[in-house]
Amino acid sequence: MEDNKIIELYWKRDESAIDESNKKYGNYCRTIAYNILRLKEDCDECVNDTWHNAWRVIPPEKPNKLQLFFGRITRNLALDRYSYNKAQKRNNDLETAIDEYYECIPNGMASVEDELILKKLINTFLEGLDSRARIIFLRRYWYALTVQEIAKKMSMSESHVSVILHRTRNQFKDYLKKEGISV
């Protein structure tokens, strides 16, 4: 089913919108949640919560890209669940990815306007990267894949992936500084 038809179902408050969303984007959302949580039960719960959250915000929201909309909800839910689980055990791969990413962006409480500016700057930065660096950066910091998983998927050595990530993070920091954003 096409995205605009799924959105119409949400606007009509037709519960089949959830089934259609799950059919089309369930695996995508499960992959995002699993990459962060590494537990099937928690992953399934996040995906179910994704559909519940989508039901609550559509309407009034009308997403332009449904896949990215669901992906963002799932990722945020999984990160929240990860924080909740963090007290019991530690996922060093995800902790490292989060720490690396937060080294590049401003800390502290940001206003909505500041967050929108940062979002635009991140998108502009990513558009300026060559496709390989962009894919590696997104797989690490959006999809939360390990360096090992990225290396395997891209047929590269782990050290090569690490070097690309390090250089890209440094470029990102320099770009933000040039744009007047202090890290």
Q: What is the pLDDT of residues 124-152, one digit of tens each?
A: 999 999 999 999 999 998 888 899 999 99
**Confidence at residue 121, expressed as pLDDT on a 0 to 100 scale:** 87
The C-alpha atoms of residue 125 and residue 101 are separated, in whole angstroms, by: 14
**Confidence at residue 99, expressed as pLDDT on a 0 to 100 scale:** 66
The CA angle 106-109-102, to the nearest 5 degrees, is: 35
- How far, rounded to the nearest angstrom, does the alpha carbon of residue 13 sit from its chain's CA centroid? 27
Residue 153 has pLDDT above 70, yes or no: yes
The closest of 68, 67, 51 to 10, measured between CA atoms, is 51
Q: Respond yes or no on whether the N-terminal peptide bond of residue 59 is cis (omega within 30° of 0).
A: yes
Percent of the chain residues past pLDDT 90, beyond the cut: 61
Residue 37 has pLDDT above 60, yes or no: yes
The C-alpha atoms of residue 128 and residue 126 are separated, in whole angstroms, by: 5
Residue 118 has pLDDT above 70, yes or no: yes
Residue 88 has pLDDT above 60, yes or no: no
Residue 109 has pLDDT above 50, yes or no: no
Q: What is the mean pLDDT of residues 87-92?
A: 56
For the structural domain made of 3-86, what CATH number should be given? 1.10.1740.10
Concatenated DSSP letters of 87-139: TT---HHHHHHHHHHHHHS--S---HHHHHHHHHHHHHHHHHS-HHHHHHHHH
**Confidence at residue 105, expressed as pLDDT on a 0 to 100 scale:** 64
The C-alpha atoms of residue 92 and residue 82 are separated, in whole angstroms, by: 12
What are the domain boundaries of the chain? 3-86, 92-178
Identify the residue with better confidence: 103 or 161.
161
**CATH T-level topology, domain 92-178:** Arc Repressor Mutant, subunit A (1.10.10)
The closest of 145, 137, 119, 152 to 32, measured between CA atoms, is 145
Contacts of 148 (CB under 8 A, 6+ apart): 158
Q: What is the mean pLDDT of residues 86-113?
A: 60
Q: What is the mean pLDDT of residues 68-90?
A: 83
**Confidence at residue 52, expressed as pLDDT on a 0 to 100 scale:** 95
**What's the mean per-residue pLDDT of the chain?**
87
